[in-house]
Amino acid sequence: MDVLTPADPAASRTRPRRSHALVHDPRSERRRAAVWVGAFLTPAVALILLLLLAPFLITAWRSLFDDNGVTARFVGLSNYIALFSDPDFGRSLLNTVLWVVGTLVLPVLLGLLLAVLTHSVRWGAAARTAVVIPYALSGSATALLWTFLLKTDGAVNQTLNAVGLGGLQQEWLLHWPMNTLVMIVATTWQATGASLILFLIGLQTIPSETIEAARLDGAQGFQLFLRVILPQLRPMTVVVVGMSIVNSLKTFDIVWLLTQGGPGTASETLALTMYRQTFTLNRYGYGAAVSVVLTVVVVAASWLYLRRQVQQRSGEGV
């Protein structure tokens, strides 16, 4: 590559100095590019620093205090020690794990299944609409509906009684782990629509040639799905599973509205424990400690999952 340098007197004479430096000095070009990239990145980075990192650091700092909202006293790591020796925290962690597993198994698999089944059939649109409509409802509306269904004198038990299946009546929301499981079912009813839409988009990006080629090679039915369609849905699966993990780790609204984390603390998730400690018991330091633990869990889970996926995809590329 023919590079002009300031040491070239001929070039200095025949071209304006400024233009020469702009066009041909690679260091200057890199600097300019860096400035441009920085300019584009700055708003996003500033927002993340301002709205995510700064609150996290403030919360982490507050977790070192015994703070009742009026007075605060530095206690070091006492809140964390109390947290990890609290049996309620263990239950809360277990419930959160149940939510992660439950929402991975049910809404993601159901969304995938329904997307594949309804993708290329005539009645597919009607079926898809029926599944997607609950997704349009707010979490609060969903919780109210399911409270009406699941409370002890609610619609489910009354229906069971009316059709002669009174023996199957249950106190659905009052016993652990059944209350957590039925709330996962309620969330599945609402969240499957989102997975379905994303998987449908994924299905539409699969080139028809690969399907036809597979068919010509004799692949069909489950084999076609497992060996041809599913691998090509991988990018979308990464997104759906990643979103599902993060959403389930921060589960709050439906549990709060259906059981308030009870009876006792039986159905609490980490997000509810954080809320109860902070806003009900006015233990701001302790609640901040739960927030920090929850943040670490969410970031660690997302990072581990995405890192693994990205590495696999890089490996595939090589």
Partner 1 sequence: MSRPAAADVVSLFNDNPSWAPGFQAAGSRLRPLSGFRLAPRAVPNVSNYQQIVRMSAQTGSTTDLIKWWNGYRLRDIARAGILADVTDAWDEAARRGWSDDTALRSTFTYEGKQYGVPLYKSYYVVFYSRPAFKRLGVDVPTTWQQFLDVVDAAHAKGITPISSGGATSWESLIWFQQLVNGLDHRFYQELTAGRASYTDDVCRRAMALWSDLYRRGAFSAPDAQTTDLPAQFTQGTTAMCLYGTWNTGAFLDNGVKDADLGAFLLPPPPGGARSVIVESGVLAVSANAHKLDAAHAVARAWLNPSVQTAWSGFLRDTSADPGVVPNVGTVRQVAAQVRRERPTQAIRYWEASPPVLIEGNVQELSAFMINPTRAQATKTLTNMQHRADKEWKVWTS
Q: What is the DSSP letter of 263?
A: S
Q: Residues binding partner 1: what is the number (CB under 8 A)? A: 24
Closest distance to partner 1 from the beta carbon of 99 (Å): 18
Q: Is there binding between residue 70 and partner 1 (CB under 8 A)? A: yes
Closest distance to partner 1 from the beta carbon of 280 (Å): 6
Of the listed pieces 1-9, 89-97, 171-179, 204-212, which binds partner 1 according to CB under 8 A?
171-179
Q: What is the DSSP letter of 57?
A: H
**In the set 68, 138, 159, 210, which binds partner 1 (CB under 8 A)?**
68
Residue 307's contacts (CB-CB under 8 Å, 6 or more residues apart) are none
Q: Is there binding between residue 266 and partner 1 (CB under 8 A)? A: yes
Closest distance to partner 1 from the beta carbon of 248 (Å): 21
3-state secondary structure 88-118: HHHHHHHHHHHHHHHHHHHHHHHHHHHHHHH
Sign for the CA dihedral angle at 255, 259, 262, 267 comes to negative
Contact 241, 108 (CB under 8 A): yes
Closest distance to partner 1 from the beta carbon of 66 (Å): 9
Sign for the CA dihedral angle at 26, 27, 28, 30 comes to positive
**In the set 42, 280, 311, 312, which binds partner 1 (CB under 8 A)?**
280
Contact 258, 150 (CB under 8 A): yes
Closest distance to partner 1 from the beta carbon of 174 (Å): 5
Q: Which of residues 71-110 bind partner 1 (CB under 8 A)?
A: 71
Q: Is there binding between residue 288 and partner 1 (CB under 8 A)? A: no
**In the set 171, 201, 299, 300, which binds partner 1 (CB under 8 A)?**
171
Q: Is there binding between residue 69 and partner 1 (CB under 8 A)? A: yes
Q: Is there binding between residue 181 and partner 1 (CB under 8 A)? A: no
Closest distance to partner 1 from the beta carbon of 260 (Å): 4
**In the set 40, 61, 279, 303, which binds partner 1 (CB under 8 A)?**
279
Q: Are strands 72-74 and 65-67 parallel, antiparallel or unpaired?
A: antiparallel
- C-alpha distances in Å from residue 285, one per residue of 33, 53, 279: 45, 18, 11
Alpha-carbon distance 125 to 314, whole Å?
36
Binding site for partner 1 (CB under 8 A): 68-71, 151-153, 171, 173-175, 259-266, 279-283
